[in-house]
Structure 1
Amino acid sequence: MGITREIGAHYVQEKGTTFTFWAPDAEQAEVVLHVNSKQTIPLQREAFGYWVGLAEDAKPGTRYTFKLDNDKEFPDPASQSQPDGVHEASEVISHTYNWTDQNWKNLPLEEYIIYELHVGTFSEEGTFEGIINKLPELKDLGITAIELMPIAQFPGERNWGYDGVYPFAAQNSYGGPEGLKKLVDACHKAGIAVVLDVVYNHLGPEGNYTSSFGPYFTEKYNTPWGAALNFDDAHSDHVRNFFIQNALMWLRDFKIDALRLDAVHAILDTGAKHFLQELQEHVNHLEQQLHKPFYLIAESDLNDVRLINPIENGGYGLAAQWMDDYHHAIHTVTTGETDGYYSDFGKPEHLVKTLKHSFIYNGMYSEYRKRTIGTDATANPAKQFVVCSQNHDQVGNRMLGERLTKLVSFEMLKPIAALVILSPYTPMLFMGEEYGEENPFQFFVSHSDKDLVEAVRKGRKEEFASFAWQGEAPDPQSEETFNNSKLQHSYTESEKQNQLRKFYKELIQLRKSVLKKLCKEQLEATLNEEETVLQFTHTSAGLRCVINFSDQPQTITGTQGWQLVLNSADTKWGGPGSDNYTSGVITLQPESVLVLQAKA
């Protein structure tokens, strides 16, 4: 493993705070303590351009900045708290916390039922505390893991989180580091794991002072965000160390159970050992120290099993990756949309292929990308693929941010839920989908730089050029856009929404009770001749899912020896009512799903 070095401010009771940062070209460096009057302490230069010093009087709550060569003062790039925002002084914190989760050892990955949420829009409060208040509802639904969209300090109080500029600092407006620890502790007490979305492929534009310290970026590559983070150019060991220390901090000090690594295809590294492999090796070492498993889950659009194959087999050893192919197959078949990147999808047989082999594009030519993409994932365990029918990207990157609630019928929402929850893969829900939330999830920011705001508005409009969406994109800077994206949690007032939520709950209970050990090898999937009815059967569990995608009733035969467990057309699930199930012959209502179990 490469160079490892603690960075940032580390407080030790009765000794004070040690400050460490990397600035290889600086001739002189100081830490400035913002106490009654500013107190300046010179730092000593060590190998590779690290600057280190001890301030005995600096304790939790002390504000500080770093000064380079008697010039400007900057917040700490590895700041763990920015109580006054991205442009102001950093704050020393303590990792002493009265944890109550000593018996928590994380869950096996195959038991994860993930619920992705955005802290600012999930609850009325828009804070970590607001999530804690909703944990009983998530526990009742059957959720076993929540996934937080990025919470690293970003400018202002409204942001998806991908404009974060202090990767080590939990967003102050959400409740800061103490609020996050309280949330993790409460989740573990409820038996719920915590996945944190982290961004190692770029830093946001406003409040990003890292380039003032050293070569954190390289011009070797162009990315959608400008110069790439420096993972393989001169001085890259120390940039790699910065992000490795970040991951270890979340897992060790905040007791996060898994990290979702944003867009790893944009982590550009041609070195002999890819950054992701090195990161996984450090996480493996932490697992051995703490005697508990941690999971790294990649988001990638490359369909490359190298990410999740074992290190000894030439892979990077990550636990899992998101699988867009599954989402795109579901979305196109149920909505009929085939614009933009959806043009590569839309055939019902794609669902059969992705159920059995994971990637649809597994060495196939993509007409949209104009090149061959993907590798064969048939041999990889199903738990290594996280699947969904909605997520922040697929909803929020639509022009108007509409959820499936607005794109398909109420009846179709139920087969879609079954495709995700009863698949062999690791299922993920997007906040609010379980009851059919009708508010959109739109893109929002709260930058203070007017030119940057205009650039964001322009960029959003350009993103939609390949889609045939009608209307005007909401203003990302407007507070109204943010407020429109808040969940209503309205299922307690709506009978239909409550019925849908109960249907989700029933599917989740089925998965937990009957489908404990799932694998693709023991799954059969077929389509009827008209490609309107999909059947997939978990042969080892004796569970069959039958889905009618068409708007007409369909009849299937050959079901002797199977008993009905669930029919989405039943009135108790808000359906139109269903015919009685007679042995061997079933009439499927339009846009419905049946779940059958083999008779003992």
Structure 2
Amino acid sequence: MTATIYIQPGAVLNANGVCRFRVWAPLRNKVSLLLPEQNVTHEMQRDADGYWSVTLPNIKAGTLYYYILDDEGKRPDPASRHQPEGVHGPSAVTDPNDFTFTDDQWKGMDLEQMIIYELHTGTFSPEGTLQGIISRLPALQELGITAIEIMPVAQFPGSRNWGYDGVYPFALQNSYGSINDLKKLVDAAHNMGIAVILDVVYNHQGPEGNYFNDYGPYFTDKYKTPWGQAINYDDAWSDGVRSFYIANALMWLDEFHIDGLRLDAVHAYWDSSALHFVQELTTAVHELEQRCGKKKILIGELDLNNPRYITPVANGGYGLQGQWIDEFHHALHSHLTGETNGYYEDFGKLELLARSYADAYVYTGQYSAHRKRKFGLAPEHLPYSQFVAFIQNHDQVGNRMLGERLSTLVPFEALKLAAAALLLSPFVPLLFMGEEYGEKNPFPFFASFEDPELVSAVREGRKKEFAAFHAAGEAPDPMAPGTFDAAKLSWDTKTPENATLLACYRYLIGLRKTRPALKYHERNGSKVHPVINERLLVLEREYDAQDALLIVLNFSKEQEAYHPAGLKAYHKLFDSAHLQWNGPGAIAQDDVPAGGVITLQPLSAIVYEMK
């Protein structure tokens, strides 16, 4: 089968100073290239697929340009690689060959090997830059992180944004650093054994600075999304749109050596085509893998309990390697905090967390009170390693009115219990930056739009969004610089509780990496016991007879006793209540004989190896 060639849009500069400018504008009668510094224009030629192009010699990196559409005004390039003056200014030529990687030995990483750390470039470090991330990589390596997931870095309006309002998918946010800074980050991470995942947004484009409609039918009115116009994946002229986003994915994975993409809101890729866009994307990425000889991963954020998206193409699926599972978070968070408002109304009972451990999805066809319908399908044929679980992430923290982290909502013992619930699970764990030491600074939504009407609309929209979760109170102003500044990590890892929690995370990650039972992700390696009195959740993780673990999680605020069945004896490996972890003191025996009893402190987690 011949690999599909996807047209690379934008300004592509070669080593000889020859630059090809190409833009898709199928409905325009004339497109010209304007070089404002020279005050010259060049007419472009159209091909049969609606691409306009011109090739010029003696072009240097940094050259500014616009496109002029039907002599009606100048516009930045939708496939711009650099917007030095922001979303409304000219695009700039970049040199893709102006960096030499030193990661030839790096061959990528399977999803099942990943312990993922999600971070936001602007708030992760004091510098708020890509260089700031590089400076903190040793701390993440010491923690045991094997992959970092960077929230979207595509150019957005202003200098403060979560990243989901980006309007130039090919351009790196100019306030984060240079293209070479991102390549340095990837190179440095690879040389430390850390994979890099980039969050990308292919379900919508941000509103401010969005000139895509001027070029052609990038969007469709067939569908609606909560964030703006739906991207045109299946309407007239959609071939050029599909090619645009696939070319973008291949750029990050190939030129930047990035290991994987986290695809935002895949459920909003509206596509009724016989070949779904997700399947076309996964096929293109697989072909890239074959060419470069390095593993590439696609993980979908998917508000659909539909295993088709993560089923291999050969088995009739769309071929994503992994999926975020919000329901694990919802079940755990709701039970720990007692919150049952908004989408948490479907949760609250410990039995639902047990169902997540067993099935990955909580809802596999049952009636959902929040959705007012039956929801989901069991992913019975898929290993646990295709599911990314978390107890916090940018959405679940930032979609709260005040952006509170779990560390401000539950007591210290519950934080250790939650960490164990995640890191001892059969799923791929994802930590949200600062979680490992109990960061208290909030992470609310923030942005720096310049359009007054848009600023007002965003402020009102956020208030309405929180109506289901908060009866009173006022959200912080997302446009205020102070809202962004308050979200920066404190990196306070020295106070006793924070230092202890960090040590606890390191221990649990180390345990996960070294015990075969915790590295085994097939469904026959995990057993979930029936929940006991809505208080105790018991798991067994087993690789073989030589490595089997008993995990007991006490969600009660009282001491609880567990009576293991069978004739096995147990030796304790971890007890979150131990004084070592700044707990109230362990009361469970280090060695439990067959027929013995395990007594747990309130809000605690225990791990035993079976003898």
TM bucket normalised to smaller: over 0.9
Cα RMSD of the aligned pairs, angstroms, is: 1.3
The answer for the alignment partner of 1:105 in structure 2 is: 107
Alignment counterpart, residue 551 of structure 2, candidates 545, 557, 575: 545
Alignment partner, residue 605 of structure 2: 593
* Equivalent in the alignment of 2:288: 286
The residue that corresponds to 1:556 in the other structure is 562
Distance 2:36 2:291 in 1: 37
Structure 1 partner of 2:312 = 310
Distance in 2 between residues matched to 1:132 and 1:155, nearest whole Å: 24
Work out the CA distance in 2 between the residues paired with 1:481 and 1:66: 36
Q: Match for 1:574 among 559, 572, 582?
A: 582
Distance in 1 separating the partners of 2:404 and 2:13: 46
CA distance in structure 2 between the aligned counterparts of 1:354 and 1:510, rounded to whole angstroms: 22
Helix, strand or coil at the partner of 1:48: coil
Alpha-carbon distance in 1 for matches of 2:227, 2:570: 54
Q: In structure 1, how many angstroms separate the alpha carbons of the residues matched to 2:5 and 2:370?
A: 41
1:464 aligns to what SS in structure 2? helix
| Alignment map for 1:374-389 (pairs within 5 Å) | 374-389=376-391
Please show how residues 520-531 of structure 1 align to structure 2 within 5 Å. 520-531=523-534
Deviation of the 1:3 alpha carbon = 7.4
Q: How far is the alpha carbon of 1:328 from its aligned partner? A: 0.7
Cα distance in 2 for partners of 1:260, 1:334 equals 28
- 1:188-208 Cα distance to aligned partner (Å, 9 max, x none): 111100000000000000000
TM-score using structure 1 length:
0.98
Does the 8 Å contact 1:34/1:62 carry over to 2?
no
Amino acid at match of 1:64: Y
SS at match of 1:434: helix
1-structure distance, mates of 2:481, 2:17: 45
Question: How far off is 1:419 after superposition?
Answer: 1.2
Structure 2 equivalent of residue 161 of structure 1: 163
Q: What residue in structure 2 maps to residue 86 of structure 1?
A: 87
Instruction: Give the whole-Å Cα distance in 1 for the aligned partners of 2:5 and 2:145.
Output: 39
Deviation at 1:55, TM superposition (A): 1.4
- Residue of structure 2 equivalent to 1:328: 330
- Residue 506 (structure 1) aligns with: 507
- Paired residues of 2:351 and 2:531 also in contact (CA < 8 A): no
Deviations 1:240-265 (A, max 9, x none): 00000000000000011000000011
For these two proteins, the number of residue pairs brought into alignment is: 597
Write out aligned runs for 1:218-229 (5 A): 218-229=220-231
Distance 1:250 1:513 in 2: 32
Partner of 1:536: 539
Alignment deviations for residues 457-508 of structure 1 (CA, whole Å, 9 cap, x no partner): 000011111123542100000001001111000012x111000000000000
Partner of 1:337: 339
Distance, in Å, in 2 between the alignment partners of 1:297 and 1:340 is 26
Deviation at 1:360, TM superposition (A): 1.2
Amino acid at match of 2:186: V
Question: Which residues of structure 2 form unaligned runs of 5+?
Answer: none
Amino acid at match of 1:538: R
Q: After superposition, where does 1:450-465 map in structure 2 within 5 Å?
A: 450-465=452-467
Match of 1:176 in 2: 178
Does the CA contact (< 8 Å) of 2:354 and 2:531 recur in 1?
no
CA distance in 2, matches of 1:331, 1:448: 36
1:544 partner amino acid: L
Deviates more, 1:555-564 or 1:409-418: 555-564
Find the aligned partners of 1:188 and 1:197 in 2 and give their Cα distance: 18
Q: Contact (CA 8 Å) 2:331, 2:347: kept in 1 or not?
A: yes
One-letter identity of the residue aligned with 1:575? G
TM-score, normalisation: structure 2: 0.96
What CA distance in whole angstroms lies between the structure 2 residues aligned with 1:223 and 1:184? 33
- Structure 2 counterparts to residues 175-214 of structure 1, below 5 A: 175-214=177-216
What is the CA–CA distance in structure 2 between the aligned matches of 1:81 and 1:571, rounded to whole Å?
53
Q: Distance in 1 between matches of 2:443 and 2:471?
A: 16
The Cα shift of 1:527 comes to 4.1
Q: Any residues of structure 2 matched to 1:385-464 within 5 Å, and which?
A: 385-464=387-466
In the alignment, structure 1 residue 481 sits paired with structure 2 residue 483: yes
Runs of 4+ in 1 over 6 A off after TM superposition: none
Letter in 2 for 1:572: Q
Using the alignment, how far apart are the partners of 1:206 and 1:528 within structure 2? 50
